Chain A
Amino acid sequence: MTVSGKSAGGRWRWLMYLVLCLAASFFLMPVYMMVVTALKDPAEISLDTAWQLPSVWNWASFADAWSAFAPKLRNSLVLTITASAASALLGSLNGYVFAKWPFRGAKVVFALILFGMFIPYQAILIPLFGFIRAIGLYGTIWGLVVVHTVYGLPITTLIFRNYYMDIPNSLIEASALEGAGFFAIYRYVVFPLSLPGFVVVIIWQFTQIWNEFLFAVSLSNPASQPITVALAQLAGGEAVRWNLPMAGALLAALPTLLVYIVFGRYFVRGLLAGSVKG
């Protein structure tokens, strides 16, 4: 055998490409269907010809979906940006403490915080609903901002803590010797090194919050609805004209897809951190 373990012999290479192409068509088929259906005239959409290209490109679907969804997209954008930024900032401070100044009992506290990221939110939904209503934020975007910030803390704290573990302790100690205090060290040593960490965390939170549905459907009203709720309602109605939900799905998917395409590498880092230990 002349090949090393990693590059398969020529005999099997065609099989490898066959697998790749089959898998790629499985993953891309729904995208094709979404785009093609979105571009059809409602009258032209029928189940037998679902796979065929439209005879006339009907761009109006996107205009319609846009006018229906623009306010919801705005809601999602405000919610996602605010809650991502807030949970990232808090997570960064928490991560700094857990990585560099662990107080007594920090390990247990850290574990208890982490557990929060795995709980099924159905388990806290009823008290949460009551709480958000009691503080007068039910049906507003700000209620969702609070909720996503708090439930985002476990993952943002985890990612930052693991990230800051790699900053050498000697660097922190040297700064402390020179008289820098807790916040000065964060401000002048840790924070400037944090940019990649912030990119990973913000991308992760952006994707999660943009895509979230359970809190969105339980705590919003039509005026404050994020895009996922609006899309589910549009597609779930009776006698659907499918070009509209498909165009809407594309609009709803676009922001996270763009983030994925532009920042793919950081996206994967967040994904790996989500399984707890790097």
Chain B
Amino acid sequence: MRWRKHTNQITGFLVVLPSIVLIGVFVYGFIGRAIWVSLTDWGKDPSQALALKPVTRFIGLENYRELFTGLIDARFRQDMVSTVFFTLFFLAGCLLLGLLLAIVIDHKPRGEGFFRGVFLFPFALSFVVTGTIWRWLLQPGGGVNVLPTLVGLPPARFAWLTSRTQVWRFDWNHLPVIVGLIAAAVLAGLAVAARRAGRRRRAVVTALAGAAALGLAIGVAPGWRPLPYPEPHGFNLAFVGIILAAVWQMAGYTMALYLAGLTGIPEELREAAVVEGANEWQLYTRIILPMMAPITLSATIVLGHISLKIFDLVFAMAGPDNSWTDVPALLMFITTFRGNQFAKGAAIGVILLLLVALIIVPYLRSQLREGARE
């Protein structure tokens, strides 16, 4: 019988083999190839860019250096800043609205099924459809801006997708300091969490790393200026409308995740808390919300990686050529297919991949480990 099991496992391996090969080529092979392309000068010489067998040279990390510190690639740096702001507001919007809707739906109102359906249906739509509709809603002289007139107020005047206003500006040269400080704060938070969980060694290690980050941020980073001139970047208000549309599309998804968690909480637990004298507010803040922490983490990771990759929504809402609403995923597309700057496009793609891997790899590891323990 053992021999039998063994043959079946071999058969199983052979059955999975085509998929392994396909994923090996299409995911890992292509990633490797893209990394290689990003280290060449493919596209720098226009005569070679579209050649069938382009002659390219290996130029090391030059493309990456240009993206982060080169004169001509300021647009990429603004796009990185825009993505960070977009992600923060998109996450906050989805999590807060999703949680609120889930709590309300969990109270079993009349028409529960109808409301749940209404909140979740945008998730079934294409970002292109969402973008097309919201593009029309956010036209400068109409749609959302004339909504106040329905109740007798003057119309709003906000130029949703074409605003040129930038707020919370900072000099790109201060980025090393800012990143160092944020890293120190995050590590400090992790250290406190580890200490609370009773894992002393981990707490000490993270605390030391945090102190090191703080030291680098204060001691070394101010002396390192990536650019020879100040270059201000900030949050483009033209993104507000895109964030609104993105939250419209994904808040229902977040609600569904929370709802799955809320329905999993046994009724006895709620009843016990109420018997103990907890009111509704305490029931949620003390018992239910802490139990939702793993879901918040999952939702943050899934939404966060969608946000880093956001492309179609921006394309459909503001067009590919509006530099005030640009993101790296879109810039990669334009750089590659409009500008024929293949190596630089590949470099932007690889940077996106690194950002996503930074949050996905630890998440996958912990998820699969948890799964194995069950």
Nearest CB on A from B67, distance (A): 14
- Report how many A-B pairs have Cβ atoms within 8 Å: 314
Contact A47–B143 (Cβ < 8 Å): yes
Fill in one digit per residue for A112-154: 1 if any B CB lies within 8 Å of its CB, else 0: 1111101111111111100100000000000000010011011
The number of chain A residues with a CB under 8 A from chain B is 107
B226 CB–A CB distance under 8 Å: no
Contact B19–A122 (Cβ < 8 Å): no
Complex Cα–Cα for A264 and B112 (A): 14
Contact A119–B27 (Cβ < 8 Å): yes
Contact B142–A257 (Cβ < 8 Å): no
A211 CB–B CB distance under 8 Å: yes
Of B124, B316, B336, which one neighbours A260 at CB under 8 angstroms? B124
Complex Cα–Cα for A26 and B122 (A): 11
Complex Cα–Cα for A124 and B146 (A): 43
The residue on A at minimum CB distance from B38 is: A126
Contact B12–A114 (Cβ < 8 Å): no
Using A50-B142, A253-B126, A277-B371 as known contacts, say yes or no to A97 and B12 having CB atoms under 8 A apart: yes
Complex Cα–Cα for A109 and B248 (A): 36
A224 CB–B CB distance under 8 Å: no
B59 CB–A CB distance under 8 Å: no
Complex Cα–Cα for A203 and B274 (A): 41
Contact B132–A109 (Cβ < 8 Å): no
Using A213-B312, A245-B136, A246-B133 as known contacts, say yes or no to A8 and B280 having CB atoms under 8 A apart: yes
Contact A153–B23 (Cβ < 8 Å): yes
Residues of A within 8 A of B131 (CB): 232, 235
Contact B119–A113 (Cβ < 8 Å): no
Using A50-B142, A120-B353, A264-B117 as known contacts, say yes or no to A115 and B360 having CB atoms under 8 A apart: yes
Of B37, B260, B270, B298, which one neighbours A6 at CB under 8 angstroms? B270
Using A47-B142, A109-B20, A126-B342 as known contacts, say yes or no to A150 and B26 having CB atoms under 8 A apart: yes
A188 CB–B CB distance under 8 Å: no
B224 CB–A CB distance under 8 Å: no
The residue on B at minimum CB distance from A183 is: B11
Give residues of chain A (1-58) contacting chain B, Cβ–Cβ below 8 Å: 1, 3-9, 12-13, 16-17, 19-20, 23-24, 26-31, 33-34, 37, 46-48, 50-51
Main secondary structure of the interface of A (DSSP, over half): helix
Residues of B within 8 A of A276 (CB): 298, 363-364, 367
- Which of A26, A90, A101 gathers most chain B CB within 10 Å? A101
Contact A151–B26 (Cβ < 8 Å): yes
Nearest CB on A from B203, distance (A): 27
Contact A6–B267 (Cβ < 8 Å): yes
20 A-B contacts (beta carbon < 8 Å): A4-B270, A4-B274, A6-B108, A6-B267, A24-B118, A34-B133, A47-B146, A50-B143, A93-B15, A94-B19, A119-B357, A120-B356, A121-B309, A122-B309, A124-B349, A214-B311, A231-B128, A252-B129, A257-B124, A272-B257
Contact B353–A123 (Cβ < 8 Å): yes
Nearest CB on B from A83, distance (A): 13
A249 CB–B CB distance under 8 Å: yes
The residue on A at minimum CB distance from B43 is: A126
Residues of B within 8 A of A157 (CB): 19
Fill in one digit per residue for B127-158: 1 if any A CB lies within 8 Å of its CB, else 0: 11111111111010111001100100000000
B283 CB–A CB distance under 8 Å: yes
B227 CB–A CB distance under 8 Å: no
Using A4-B274, A236-B316 as known contacts, say yes or no to A124 and B31 having CB atoms under 8 A apart: yes
A218 CB–B CB distance under 8 Å: yes
Fill in one digit per residue for B322-361: 1 if any A CB lies within 8 Å of its CB, else 0: 0000001100110011000010011011101100110011
A199 CB–B CB distance under 8 Å: no
The residue on A at minimum CB distance from B352 is: A120
Complex Cα–Cα for A272 and B117 (A): 16
A268 CB–B CB distance under 8 Å: yes
Complex Cα–Cα for A240 and B79 (A): 28
Given contacts A33-B143, A150-B23, 10 further A-B contacts (CB under 8 A): A5-B271, A28-B118, A33-B133, A34-B133, A47-B139, A116-B26, A123-B34, A124-B30, A228-B129, A275-B299
The residue on B at minimum CB distance from A161 is: B371
- Which of A1, A46, A103 gathers most chain B CB within 10 Å? A103
Contact A116–B121 (Cβ < 8 Å): no
Nearest CB on B from A32, distance (A): 10
Residues of B within 8 A of A90 (CB): 18-19
B101 CB–A CB distance under 8 Å: yes
B10 CB–A CB distance under 8 Å: yes
Residues of A within 8 A of B241 (CB): none
